[in-house]
Structure 1
């Protein structure tokens, strides 16, 4: 499938409601547990998504589409959520994510991005030159990856309880890669 903005938005706009439906009002045992040292809980993932809404996807889109000759992106702090989410509830984080995503998609839609804009470039601190279509495609895949991650973390809470079924429950056999 070739990149099309409307198709990308159709996934991006569903992520908040998917996470709200999956996580809202669950006991903390489902949302605060992780897979061990240096792994993230569903709570941590939502905080990470919020940080991305504030400092990553749209900020970088603006750089690519902007008139400035400087197209370099600031490095993204993949762990900022640990400090930024302190003292907040998951309910608050989910609502904040929903609001930020809605605003970002509203902004994205009014940009009137054309297919010609897809090849415009920015400079990623690790990858070098990347196109707008690559950035926006990565945003979609990033969302889907974190939805899968949250599901995996939650599934592993019952890894022992399922008895002999892990052979067929492949989600229980995957390893975390934050």
Structure 2
């Protein structure tokens, strides 16, 4: 039997929103009410714990995604994005309860998606550009697609970090657990 090659899904704003609106629900189900060991352990030096990853997502909701969307949609003025501090969450209070971080993320994401929907972005708008400080010219469509993949990547990262807490406990099954080999 021949295996058909799966085509990549084409970008559609509504399909992107489907993922973006679910991320807070996923993280609440995944991280809410977990013990500190699950939340605060990482993969070693210079890596993030699930708590820190959530803090990074909260910071991005405050300072990155919608700020850049609005920069691109501006009809005049500077289209250069402000640099994003990828480590800003490490400067925040590391003792805030996880429930507060989850609530903050949910509130911020809900507000950002309401604002995104209210912009009534057209297919033509998705081709508008801004200037990323490292990559140069990027489109609104690329920015929103990156927002989605960023969420999915960090959900995967949280899973990997948590899985590695039992790396030494799985014994010979490690050979079948690819998440532990990254």
> TM-score, normalization: structure 1?
0.96
Residue correspondence of structure 1 range 62-141 to structure 2 within 5 A = 62-141=70-149
Paired positions, count: 174
Between the aligned partners of 1:78 and 1:140, the Cα distance in structure 2 is: 17
Secondary structure at the aligned position of 1:115 is classed as coil
Unaligned runs of 5+ in 2: 1-8
Secondary structure at the aligned position of 1:21 is classed as helix
Secondary structure at the aligned position of 1:77 is classed as coil
**Bigger Rg over Cα:** 2
Between the aligned partners of 1:2 and 1:123, the Cα distance in structure 2 is: 23
State the shift of 1:55 in Å.
Answer: 0.7
Unaligned runs of 5+ in 1: none
Determine the structure 2 residue equivalent to 1:142. 150
> TM-score, normalization: structure 2?
0.94
Secondary structure at the aligned position of 1:138 is classed as helix
* Residue 43 of structure 2, aligned match among 31, 35, 42: 35
State the shift of 1:66 in Å.
Answer: 1.3
Task: Report the aligned-residue RMSD.
Answer: 0.8
State the shift of 1:61 in Å.
Answer: 0.1
Determine the structure 2 residue equivalent to 1:60. 68
Structure 1 segments of 4 or more deviating over 2 A? 84-87
Residue 57 (structure 2) pairs with residue 49 (structure 1): yes
